[in-house]
Amino acid sequence: MKFSVTEIAAAVQGRVLGDGNTVIEGAAALGEATAKDVSFIRDAQKADVIELYRASKAGAIFVPKDFQFDARTAIVVESPIAAFCHILSIIAHEIDIRPHGIHASATVSPSAKLGRGVSVGPQCVIESDAVIEDGACLMAQVYVGARSRVGANSLLYPQVVLREGVSVGKNCILHPGVVLGADGYGFFFAGGRHNKIPHVGGVVIEDDVEIGANSCVDRAMTGTTVVGRGSKIDNLVQVGHNVQIGPLALLVSQVAIGGSSTLGAGVILGGQTGVADHITIGDGARVGGRSGITKHVEKGATLFGMPAKPVAEELKLQALTRRLPEIFKEVRKLRELIGKNG
């Protein structure tokens, strides 16, 4: 990348303050930027951010409209983070190496349907009646099972596995090692052993979903496991069979969702949160990291803890827990006092 500050401002509909001829070749955080980098200021109200801004060596900085400027070169924009991400996308496009066309080592079933501009990398396997829509890209060693579908312009990184009957929407990103459509964890005990429950349902990943590395979404026993539009799933997340996740959910690393649970629109689960089977979490609910959800959660609730409780209640309990040694000593003294006076 090599643009003048003026060119960058035009690309993000910003306004230049200072030297518009400064040449920018990269992007970096305030504390890491050099004179050839553009950076951004996220929160102009925080003193530590302002200190970083003043000390930064960045060649130009995206700043919000209400920011108090100094003499340095800046680009005034509606949203500094959005402008910065636009520049990052340009850099990502320049360094991204994707396959072009169908690699000679790929195995594509004669009954599979590939759209226009599809890219299939080395050693990919596309099984019978699978559909890969226009502009989709499969990096090396991706497996697409029979009757599965990959939506237009979706990107599947190396070693992604879609088992049979999985549908991935448009503009999705699946990071390395994602597995969609493995059997759910279902068994019944009879005859002195654990017997497998067949899982014959499917998985639907709606449009604009991103799923992090080594995360798994299990197929339904019957029916469909669904991840809603625009949801973002971190690395190492487990979504059980028949789970229904609404649009715009955020699931942070190591979240585990038990089978047949339902998450409403915009639900946020912090890292290492566990959700029991058959739980309903209402729209907009937020759950802090390392929490356990064992009961239904109301719409808009904010919970934390094991088991999860309203945040204020959990924090009070934690504060009291830290005082237990002190409280125990006081109780022992009271018992001794009562014993002497009894």
Which residues does the annotation mark as catalytic? 241
Alpha-carbon radius of gyration of the chain: 26
Per-residue 3-state assignment (H helix, E strand, C coil) for the chain: CCEEHHHHHHHCCCEEECCCCCEECEECCCCCCCCCEEEECCCCCCHHHHHHHHHCCCCEEEEECCCCCCCCCEEEECCHHHHHHHHHHHHHHHHCCCCCCECCCCEECCCCEECCCCEECCCCEECCCCEECCCCEECCCCEECCCCEECCCCEECCCCEECCCEEECCCCEECCCCEECCCCCCEEEECCEEEECCCCCEEEECCCCEECCCCEECCCCCCEEEECCCCEECCCCEECCCCEECCCCEECCCCEECCCCEECCCCEECCCCEECCCCEECCCCEECCCCEECCCECCCCEEECCCCEEHHHHHHHHHHHHCHHHHHHHHHHHHHHHHHHC
Reading phi first (left if > 0) and then psi (alpha if -120 to 50, else beta), residue 200 is in alpha
For residues 56 and 62, the answer to whether their CB atoms sit within 8 Å is: no
Give the Cα separation of 99 and 101 in Å (integer): 7
Q: Peptide bond before 64: cis, by omega within 30 degrees of 0?
A: no
For residues 210 and 176, the answer to whether their CB atoms sit within 8 Å is: no
